[in-house]
Amino acid sequence: MARVPMADEWAAVLACGDGALVSHRSAAHLWSFLSEPPSEVEVTLVGRRCRPKDGVRLHTTAWIDQRDVRYKDGIPLTSPARTLIDHAASADDAELGRALAEARVLGLVDDRELEAALERTGSRRGARALRALLRGESERGLTRSEAERVMLELVRDAGLPPPLVNAPLEGYTVDFLWPQSKLVVEVDGYRYHGHRAAFERDRRKDMTLLAAGFRVMRVTWRQLRDQPLLVAAMLASALTDGRSHG
């Protein structure tokens, strides 16, 4: 029999009574940044305890800021930002990274909201893990503007023809375009890249451009940072090949 949407979560909240919130992985599933629900509904009780319930995994907290509480179709649950913090307590780095990326692409959180929620939750284990992930992002990733700057410097230093930047093409905006060579270069890895939705969107974009006769070359921010000579050589070869077939 098909699962009735949110029926288990409703039953868990009602069974646990006042002050019960759907939380952790169950809230992540309701917010759609975790694809599958956990085997037990995870519920946080605020300021009290209750007896164990079949099919329910209980968490307790002495207090929760009302800014960290939401309602989805009438069900009380933790906010997206608080959900990520709670989820971080048990998720591995890869799983947490995927959940964070999905929450961002769905427009459920931004960095300001995350920082505010982290400030409210203090030194909880999940807060420490999420802070570490955000800190790693800021240390490792390139923003779009930084990627543009590095690529344009590389092109100039290699004596290659300058591209069009953020050019409209076949209904998309491409990072770099050499129209005469019919070459598109996309930089993967600036901040927030790498989640499932972005991966699928990039594949659709590539297929559309290829069908229109453009070649798509993808480089990563790591290659731009650590292997600029390799990127320059690949780009020069692609531009030469494009001119010879033009």
Task: Calculate ∠ Cα 89-92-94, nearest 5°.
Answer: 130
Give the pLDDT score at 243: 63
Give the span between the Cα atoms of 166 and 158, in whole angstroms. Answer: 21
What residue spans of the chain are helical by DSSP H? 7-16, 24-30, 80-88, 93-105, 111-121, 125-140, 144-157, 196-211, 221-226, 228-244
Q: Name the residue among 235, 168, 178 with its Cα closest to residue 208.
A: 168
Domain-wise residue ranges, the chain: 7-140, 144-244
Determine the distance from the C-alpha atom of residue 132 to the mean position of all C-alpha atoms in its chain, rounded to a whole number.
Answer: 15
Left (φ > 0), alpha (ψ -120 to 50) or beta: where does 189 sit? left
Determine the distance from the C-alpha atom of residue 117 to the mean position of all C-alpha atoms in its chain, rounded to a whole number.
Answer: 18
With tokens 């009735």, the residue in question is 4
HSE of 97, CA atoms in CB hemisphere, 13 A? 14
- List, as one string, the DSSP characters of 60-117: EES---GGGEEEETTEEEE-HHHHHHHHHTTS-HHHHHHHHHHHHHTTS--HHHHHHH
Give the pLDDT score at 123: 83
Give the span between the Cα atoms of 48 and 18, in whole angstroms. Answer: 9
Determine the distance from the C-alpha atom of residue 118 to the mean position of all C-alpha atoms in its chain, rounded to a whole number.
Answer: 18
Q: Name the residue among 112, 57, 121, 59 with its Cα closest to residue 85.
A: 121
With tokens 């230093």, the residue in question is 157
Give the pLDDT score at 44: 97
pLDDT in tens, the chain (246 residues): 445 678 999 999 999 999 999 999 999 999 998 888 999 999 999 988 888 889 999 999 999 999 999 999 999 999 999 999 999 999 988 788 888 878 887 889 988 899 999 999 988 889 999 998 888 766 555 556 777 888 899 999 999 999 999 899 999 989 899 999 999 998 876 444 445 566 677 889 999 999 999 999 998 777 887 888 999 999 999 998 766 555
- The reply to whether CATH 3.40.50.970 applies to domain 144-244 is no
